[in-house]
Amino acid sequence: MSSRSEDLRIDMDEDASHREKRNFNEPHEGKKIFKYVISPNMQYIVTLSIEDRSIVGWAITEELELEFDKSINFEELKNITVLEGVVDLIGVTNCKQIILNIFKSDTYGFEIIDITTKSRQELNAQGLKGYFNEFNDSATFLENGNLIIVKRYPTFWAYIFSKFNGKPQWTCENIIKLKDFHRSFIFKNGKLLLVFDIPFVIMQWSLKTLEFKMQYILNWNLSEYRYSLKLEMNDNNKLLTVASHESDEGTLIYVYSMESGTIVAHNSFKENLHNFCFIGPYLFFFGSQCSTEIYNSYLLDSHTLKPQETKDFLHIYSPKYENYKEYKIISDYIIKQDINYLSIQRLSCNEYWKSYLQVQKCHVSDSFFNIKEIKQFVQDALKKCESGQNLIQNYSNEPKKLSYGESYTWIIKTSLDRIGLKNYHKRILKATIGEELTEKEFLEYHDKEDNYILENKLLENGDIILADPNGIQIYTINAENKALYLVYKWSDGYKKESETAQQSIKRNLIAFNFLIEKIDKSNFKYLPSPTYINIDDFINNRLAVKLYGKEQFYQLAQNEYKAGIEQLYNKCFEYSFSMFKNGALYDFILFTSQIALALIKLEEFNKNLKVTEKFLSKINLLISKNYYNSINNDSTLSHLQHRGIYDNSLSIISLFDYLTFWISEQRSLLKNKYPKIYKVLESPYLFYSLYFTNYSQKTVSLMIPLMNFATYPKDYSYFE
């Protein structure tokens, strides 16, 4: 079969039984497929038709052909389980067992059915019975073969089921106690993500180790349509995408780093979300505009959410508004539905897609986050020093030019001035943007050498990095203002009289490399705090203030620069309240934290500045109108009355939890038929209810804008 994208019809299985041959020749008796799911290993697909209430299983071959395997018709389904309403398909295992959401008045709200043996697989675990709400609750088959079920009612518990020694029956391996969450998401790699209303965050745990992994602070503009939240992870588990409806029509998308919890990028689109997923380095977003009856497909840079060229991609995926519901992308499988048939193509096997990846450039980040490229520049220069290579360069009358495509060209001109016994090595940095020339930037150092040292590189984002005996500088171009700016300067100290130029640059490179190596191993990957700033340039660089505000407060206090402190203090609040007004909670916390973390240092420097008093007066009782839960009349978050150590760990259900839950279930029966047993058990149950249960109460949720404010503290007993 060709690797190009071709529609594939479902093949015939001539060895099937007479009844299943009929299903095979005419799947679902010609009725429309309502839903389909794919196994974690992407080798088996199950289709469900609501019209004839039949289920069909298909094996996916290496050639992406669908081979009929097994089917369950409506009569067979009724013999397996009691049907009282609509059946919905949730998932399928690698071993061909499906999980169905079945609306029943009693017992379980779901069923596990072996499609091969056409038998019901009963799950045995306390608290599992009851209604299964697919909006809040979750059930997922993992890559390792386990089954995870998360339920809000009657308990906030997560269940881990496994199969042992090849036995067909599921065994409950663990039951995990959860916090009071709003929604749950389980990924097939074993990651559990819970969405909370107060605070409005997503918390992530590993179901394999029960370790807390990350917290993602959600912006308030997502809260109104939190019911529509959709989450996706990329293949290397480094990026998490959160998407939600925006007003009546449109979609908001945020990309988070799974290593640091920071927001990497965000964007809004006029289309309503139909499908989105990570494929390779890109995020695919597809949506419709109902008002204009338009369907658009976007190929987005996953680090910027900027649309990329899609001309070649349209050869592979090009649905219209009239038929877009027939298409779906799962992993890198593009699936097209044609009534009761499916056809599959795979992007990774597609020649158009392979060619597209070869010509596309990788993501280019802001220089503050460009650790990889800057680290390589520093280490290349260090290798020259350590190998004995002389970095000294001869002067030339011709300036050095570095062009960034057709956008602009950097120009470096060097000159030597002799004053007394000292040689002053001067460099003039400027740039041409079109036919215009920017202002000049002067740099210099002095020694006794006749030649100079200046390592330089044009970065992939168009900025230029320079390294000389006095340290490291990064400059950028503002195309709108036709100007160049110093965005970053770091130094381990200027050149000493006792040092040669080569010794000085080597010392600076070694010190900087030590810091950048340490940062590269951490979760927060951005350049070390600059050692020098021009306060006017710094405060007008919003990103720099957000990243390095605290360190610069420290530096300004050390230099006793009172005016600079006041400028930075006011600018932090200006940025902070701008973010607050727009519902950008994460950035609001970052900006406000720059001040909060520097308050003690600033008070030590000058108490007359009254920075703490001003800080508290400005952030007192901040409640956004976008945050519908600011005042909650039915809150069970009694921990808001306490302060303490934060704890996000998960715990296995204890024997005491089993007992109290069993008593709560059997309380009426025990009281009426077994009063003596009831009296024995009543005391511990009442103790648990009084001391360890959070009762509804009117709660005012105040916001403390520090980095870890949006986490749950340890449980405290509370009794009045």
Ramachandran angles phi, psi of 49, nearest 5°: -115, 125
β-sheet bridge partners, residue 335? 328, 344
What is the structure's pLDDT at 634?
A: 42
Rounded to an integer, the average pLDDT of 433-458 is 80
Report which DSSP code applies to 334.
Answer: E
Name the domain boundary from 580, 612, 644.
Answer: 612
Q: Are residues 416 and 473 in the same domain?
A: yes
Claim to verify: residue 234 and residue 340 sit in the same structural domain? yes
Spatial contact of 284 and 277, defined as CB atoms under 8 Å apart: yes
pLDDT category, 107, cuts 50, 70, 90? low
The verdict on residue 568 lying in a domain is yes
Judge if 224 and 296 occupy the same domain.
yes
The Cα angle at residue 436 between residues 435 and 439, in degrees rounded to 5: 155
pLDDT at 93: 93
* Claim to verify: residue 266 and residue 337 sit in the same structural domain: yes
Q: Per-residue pLDDT tens for 654-667? A: 776 766 676 666 66
Domain assignment of residue 401, yes or no: yes
Shared domain check, 577 and 473: no
Among 67-81, 403-417, 572-586, 691-705, the range scoring the smallest mean pLDDT is 691-705
- Nearest in space to 127 (alpha carbons), one of 665, 666, 651, 695: 665
Q: Say if residue 477 is in the same domain as residue 498.
A: yes
8 A C-beta contact, residue 382 and residue 513: yes
- Of 215-219, 267-271, 508-512, 648-652, the one with minimum mean pLDDT is 648-652
**Does 162 map to a domain?**
no
Has residue 553 been placed in a domain? yes
Looking at residue 375, what is its pLDDT? 95
Residue numbers of the domain that contains 486: 371-526
| pLDDT, tens only, 667-698 | 666 666 777 766 666 666 555 555 444 444 44
Same domain for 357 and 377, yes or no, is no
For residues 584 and 438, state if they share a domain.
Answer: no
Would you give the DSSP letter of residue 53? T
pLDDT tens figures, 335-372: 999 888 898 988 888 887 877 777 666 667 789 999 99
136 vs 3, more confident:
136
Q: In which band, very low, low, confident or very high, does the pLDDT at 80 lie, cut at 50, 70 and 90?
A: confident
Structure tokens at 469: 């005996």
**381 and 520 together in one domain:** yes
pLDDT for position 350: 80
Asked whether 587 and 541 are in contact (CB, 8 A), the reply is: no
- What is the pTM assigned to this prediction? 0.82
What total of structural domains would you count in the chain?
A: 3
> Is the domain of 234 the same as that of 357?
yes
Average pLDDT over residues 216-242: 89
Give the amino acid at 556: L
Question: Is pLDDT above 50 for 145?
Answer: yes
62 inside domain: no
* 196 is a domain residue: no
Give, for 56, the enclosing helix (H) or strand (E): strand 54-60
161 domain residue, yes or no = no
CATH of the domain at 268: 2.40.128
Pairing of strands 441-447, 436-437: unpaired
| Domain identity same for 520 and 390 | yes
- For residue range 597-637, list pLDDT tens digits in order: 899 899 999 989 888 888 888 876 565 555 544 444 444 44
- Asked if residue 666 belongs to a domain, the reply is no
Q: Where is the domain boundary, 361, 396, 425?
A: 361
Domain boundary among 492, 526, 560: 526
Average pLDDT over residues 546-551: 94
pLDDT > 90 in the chain, percent:
33
On whether the CB atoms of residues 353 and 313 are closer than 8 A, the answer is yes
Report the distance separating Cα 91 and Cα 191, nearest Å.
17
CB 371 within 8 A of CB 522: no
* Same structural domain, 376 and 518: yes
Residue 712 has what pLDDT?
37
C-alpha 16: how far from chain center = 46
